[in-house]
């Protein structure tokens, strides 16, 4: 499907699925191409500003609808959304486009996949850029059990483990779901410490599914950063696809944790971490100490941005990426 203001999609076969790509920039730049990986609940359209503006810097830019999203296939099996499949899709993308190495840029869940590329497929990675999402080393205990104990049954990632429930609630009113998701920070917001450990007797932390189920847009004071036409792109897309493909990524946390046992948490390639001051979920403090695992790392903080940084502060994101690319891959 075509997204307004973006190039027409190109379809490739990768890792057993048909994937939609949106490309801009010169086909043979001197710097490695950039592959822009979106998160939940997003699509390649989330990168529309960077796709257009990074190309003006002479960079080749590729934004896929990731597995389960948009015009890309959405397999039925939950296990088909584990990290091996998600990173394998990106390797297959490079193969289909005859690209040896790329710089992978990831936001939200796309950031988790991007950092894993540096561990699982380092030979195909020229550099890595995390937007909001820091590198997170493998925890010593299974993550869902940990979050259930510390954050409660209705913390959204724990709640997502229930088959079909969040999917149905989000799809009941896609307009309300996307309206809740795609807003800027609360007026007067201050930097967050991210998810806090709840106290005994407290309700679950960030019960997203229940919040969306009861959401009234008229009572939400947070500012919108999308135009009506941009909002309609997300609404129309998720009305067609539903949310199950994206939620299935979350349903593989345990599987990913089990299958990553024995891997070394070390990324050797050059990396850039762009943090958002007011992201309540992926707070800047979560990137503290990343240098231990990603020694060739540069960090920048974008002030005033919430979670959807490439859409809330597109010019700042583009400028940081373009500048880092010019210095990391000169010529």
Q: Determine which one of 108, 167, 179, 279 is catalytic.
A: 108
Condensed to tens digits (0 to 9), the pLDDT of residues 201-226 reads 567 789 999 999 999 999 999 999 99
Considering the chain, what is the average pLDDT of its residues? 96
Q: How many angstroms separate the CA atoms of 63 and 23, rounded?
A: 6
Catalytic annotation on 73?
no
Condensed to tens digits (0 to 9), the pLDDT of residues 287-329 reads 999 999 999 999 999 999 999 999 999 999 999 999 999 999 9
Summarize the confidence of residues 61-77 as an average pLDDT.
98
CATH number at residue 152: 3.40.50.1820
Catalytic annotation on 202?
no
235 found inside a domain = yes
213 found inside a domain = yes
278 found inside a domain = yes
Which is higher by pLDDT, 233 or 195? 233
Q: Supply the pLDDT for residue 199.
A: 54
163 found inside a domain = yes
Q: Supply the pLDDT for residue 204.
A: 78
Q: How many angstroms separate the CA atoms of 166 and 156, rounded?
A: 9
Condensed to tens digits (0 to 9), the pLDDT of residues 86-130 reads 999 999 999 999 999 999 999 999 999 999 999 999 999 999 999
Neighbours of 90 (CB within 10 A): 30
3 found inside a domain = no
Q: Place 1 in a pLDDT band, splitting at 50, 70 and 90.
A: confident
4 found inside a domain = no
Range of the domain at 252: 10-328
Buried-state track 176-187, b at ≥16 Cβ within 10 A, e below 16? bbbbbbbbbbee
2 found inside a domain = no
Structural domain tally of the chain?
A: 1
CB 129 within 8 A of CB 104: yes
1 found inside a domain = no
Q: Determine which one of 38, 85, 107, 307 is catalytic.
A: 307
């Amino acid at each position: 499907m075509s997204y307004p203001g973006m190039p027409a999609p190109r379809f490739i076969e990768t890792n057993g699925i048909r994937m939609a790509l949106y490309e801009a920039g010169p086909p043979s730049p001197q710097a490695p191409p950039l592959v822009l990986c979106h998160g939940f609940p997003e699509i390649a359209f989330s990168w529309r500003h960077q796709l257009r503006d990074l190309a003006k810097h002479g960079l080749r830019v590729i934004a896929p609808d990731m597995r389960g999203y948009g015009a890309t296939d959405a397999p039925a099996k939950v296990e088909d959304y584990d990290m091996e499949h998600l990173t394998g899709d990106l390797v297959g993308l490079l193969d289909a486009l005859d690209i040896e190495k790329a710089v992978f840029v990831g936001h939200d869940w796309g950031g988790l996949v991007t950092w894993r590329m540096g561990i699982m497929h380092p030979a195909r990675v020229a550099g890595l850029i995390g937007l909001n999402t820091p590198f997170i080393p493998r925890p010593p205990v299974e993550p869902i059990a940990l979050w259930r104990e510390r954050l409660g049954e209705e913390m959204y990632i724990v709640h997502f483990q229930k088959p079909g429930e969040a999917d149905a609630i989000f799809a009941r009113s896609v307009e309300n779901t996307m309206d809740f998701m795609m807003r800027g920070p609360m007026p007067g917001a201050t930097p967050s410490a991210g998810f806090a450990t709840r106290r005994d007797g407290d309700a679950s932390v960030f019960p997203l599914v229940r919040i969306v189920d009861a959401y009234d847009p008229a009572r939400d004071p947070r500012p919108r950063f999308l135009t009506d036409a941009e909002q309609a792109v997300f609404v129309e897309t998720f009305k067609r696809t539903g949310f199950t493909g994206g939620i299935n990524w979350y349903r593989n946390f345990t599987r990913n944790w089990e299958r990553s046992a024995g891997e070394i948490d070390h990324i050797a390639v050059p990396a850039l971490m762009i943090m958002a001051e007011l992201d309540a979920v992926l707070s800047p403090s979560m990137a503290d100490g990343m240098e231990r695992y990603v020694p060739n790392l540069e960090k920048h903080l974008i002030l005033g941005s919430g979670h959807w940084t490439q859409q809330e502060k597109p010019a700042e994101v583009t400028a940081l990426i373009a500048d880092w690319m010019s210095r990391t891959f000169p010529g």
